[in-house]
Amino acid sequence: MSERTAQQESWVVNGLCIEGLCWGDVGKPPLLALHGWLDNAASFAVLAPLLVEYHIVALDLTGHGKSSRRSEDASYQIWDDLPEIMGVIKQLGWNDFELMGHSRGAMISSILASVIPDRVNHLVLLDAVAPQAIAESEFSNQLAKFLKDKPRGLLREGRLYPTMDEALAARTKGDLNLEAAQLLAQRSLQRRDEGYMWISDPRLFGASAVKLTHGQNRAILENLSMPTLLLQAENGLAHAFDIRAEAERHISNFSTEVVQGGHHFHMEEAAATVATRISRFLAS
């Protein structure tokens, strides 16, 4: 297959259909890419073709893009995707691989790498490291928020936009530029009779039932024995959570660099710089 053309793939794991995009020859070293909140596999459509040395598989995580939504009794805890991700890895036949994640996908990547450290050769984190921790004393309050939000999420319908331009504009109110929103729209924007709707599961907007504590986050970071690279966006979200100091303190083989751009810097003009930095790191 062409180095620069994505190929659509799908896998069925635990009764859920997991969709994804692949770039590069299957004979090259494998790299798994996990997108951020409300994004999809097309989040890597700019960056992946630049990483020509690798066979890249980017997934639509459950409730995102073309992948299945989780059942009504299930939830979207940040670790809930791990069994399906492991199922895809098994079907791909990968014994070990490179792992890269952006935002929420970076947090999932850190958790995954911490539980199978012998199988992840390098870990690349784009503008996030671990979930935002809460104090143990907040457990009951957090669970109460979840119980309040879940029924609303099950009943909630996505907002209907009269035109595609209006739907795209809704995704560009933050740091996402129009070109990036158009890429994501190919997998997450659906035409309806009366307009357009972003089809990510509304439950993704609800509170998590449980959030990790500072000690649990620390345990995750301390178990990342593989070389780990954090690329922080100059105008991204990572600075708000002050994640760099925590990562430097607890990840044994850690390096970091600030890259120009916003939270989706890997889909912006900085993508070439990001690709060069990642290629150099993975080759080390």
Please, which pLDDT band fits residue 238 given cuts at 50, 70 and 90? low
Q: Find the mean pLDDT for residues 53-65.
A: 98
Active site residues: 103
What is the rounded average pLDDT of the residues 29-48?
97
Each residue's pLDDT tens digit, 127-147: 999 998 999 999 999 999 999
- Angle at CA 118, nearest 5°, toward 31 and 11? 45
| Predicted confidence (pLDDT) per residue in 82-110, tens digit | 999 999 999 999 999 999 999 999 999 99
| Angle (CA) 25 103 184, round 5° | 60
Q: What is the mean pLDDT of the chain?
A: 94
Cα–Cα distance between 41 and 39 in angstroms, integer?
A: 7
Domains and CATH numbers, the chain: 7-134+211-282 (3.40.50.1820)
Closest by CA to 77, choosing from 111, 115, 43, 42, is 111
pLDDT at 236 over 90: no
Mean pLDDT for 180-189 is: 96
pLDDT for position 94: 98
* 198: β partners: 189
| Cα–Cα distances in angstroms (integers) from residue 215 to residues 64, 107, 167, in the given order | 30, 15, 40
Q: Phi/psi at 256 (nearest 5 deg)?
A: -150, 160
